[in-house]
Amino acid sequence: MRGLIALLAAASLLVPVPALAAPGPPRTGFELTGKWTTESEEQTYLRALNLPTSQIGTTAQGRQVQLVRVGPASARTVVLFICSQHGDEPAGREACLIRMRSLPRSSSVTYLFVPNANPDGRAADTRGNSSGIDINRDHLLLRTAEARAMAAVIRDWKPDVIHDLHEFGPSAPYYVKDVLWLWPRNLNVADGVHSLSETLSRSYVRPSVEAAGRTSGVYGIYVDPVTGEPVRQVAGDGQERILRNTGGLKHGMGLLVETNADGTPAYRVESHLKALDGTQSFVRENRSAIETANAASRAVRSGPLYFGGADNQAPAPEDVLATPPCGYVLTGAQYRDFADELALHGIKSQYLRGGDRIVPLKQEARALIPLLMDARADEPLLKAQPVAQC
């Protein structure tokens, strides 16, 4: 009997057991419930993805600003996605969380995400952060922890492309499209960076979203409600403090994408995903040109500088710095007050006898320096003394 039992037991081991179904990939709260992903759901999702994630800042209310990396840290091409700087524009954040899951982890491109660029604003469903500051108007003065975190990422990673995800409300007749896009218009952006940024918007993002049945157009254009024809630019101007422009001034191909918040949540998120497809195609097909334009921008050491105007608006004569100074002299007190901001922008200075500092224009941050230090700038960080000789 014992032998029979043993034989039956052994035979049972040969009976195939149905395999457990393999678990699916992680899903965002939005994908699971149709509601915007909560803070806790976001953190659970990021842990499940097991991607390199670091804290790059802390908000006034104690929330983390995080950076997620997909791909090797040493790739020659770096793409940065800034997701939902305005807390009441959630679709971009959802698209970023979804997209980071499907990108290749071993490739020739480093993809960086700031998946929740305004955590306090997202929690409160407000455009600004917990202090009411519009983060996307703070990329020069760096008053907010959120903008400072992004400045540090741009300084340290030197992204070749910066894709900024937003939404706009139903505000016809100004905006009558599903998706709007815009490149850096600031005149201090190097020619190659400006040209490729416009190519990214017009020749990659536009066809990608329109192939999916979306209408699209240039952001900030007033459209005649009767004829549908563009009339004038009313937003998205050359303000250097907007990330799209600041990114261009820091040598990255810049792109603002705005989806229409009048659509369903799923339609809005999918619109952003189609725009992300366009940016990925642009990077795949133009890596050499991107790297060349980026390097040329960093090498600029001469030429006029501008305090106003845009690529679609001539500057006033008084806004043209035809013969820029050699540099700007800061007092010791000014340097102590603003050393952190200068460091976050990657601006270099030299010590002078007596404790003053000189910031020479012949450095990579050349295009930014007068906007931050010259009294003629719209919103300078400080007012330093221009000098003809360094």
Active site residues: 258
Q: How far apart are CA 52 and CA 124, in angstroms?
A: 27
User: Are 300 and 192 spatial neighbours (Cβ–Cβ below 8 Å)?
Assistant: no
Which residues fall within 8 angstroms of residue 288, CB to CB, at 6 or more apart? Answer: none
How many C-beta atoms lie closer than 10 Å to residue 21's C-beta? Answer: 6
Q: Residue 133 phi/psi, 5° resolution?
A: -90, 135
Measured at the alpha carbon of residue 181, what is the angle toward residues 177 and 185, in degrees to the nearest 5? Answer: 135
Task: Report the alpha-carbon angle 197-203-208, nearest 5.
Answer: 115
Give dist(CA 270, CA 22) in Å, integer.
Answer: 27
Q: Which long-range contacts (CB under 8 A, 24 or more apart) does 283-289 make?
A: 283/77, 283/79, 283/109, 283/160, 283/161, 286/196, 286/199, 287/76, 287/77, 287/108, 287/109, 289/196
The answer to whether residues 293 and 162 touch, using CB atoms and an 8 Å cutoff, is no
Summary count for the chain: helices (H), strands (E): 13, 16
CA–CA distances in Å: residue 148 to residues 39, 67, 125, 153, 353: 21, 13, 21, 9, 30
Helix spans in the chain (H): 2-12, 29-33, 39-49, 91-102, 119-124, 145-157, 191-199, 206-211, 243-249, 265-285, 287-299, 332-344, 369-373
Phi-psi region of 62 (alpha: psi -120 to 50; beta: other; left: phi over 0): left
How many other β-carbons are positioned within 10 Å of the β-carbon of residue 126?
15
**Cα dihedral 154→156→157→160 (10° resolution):** 50
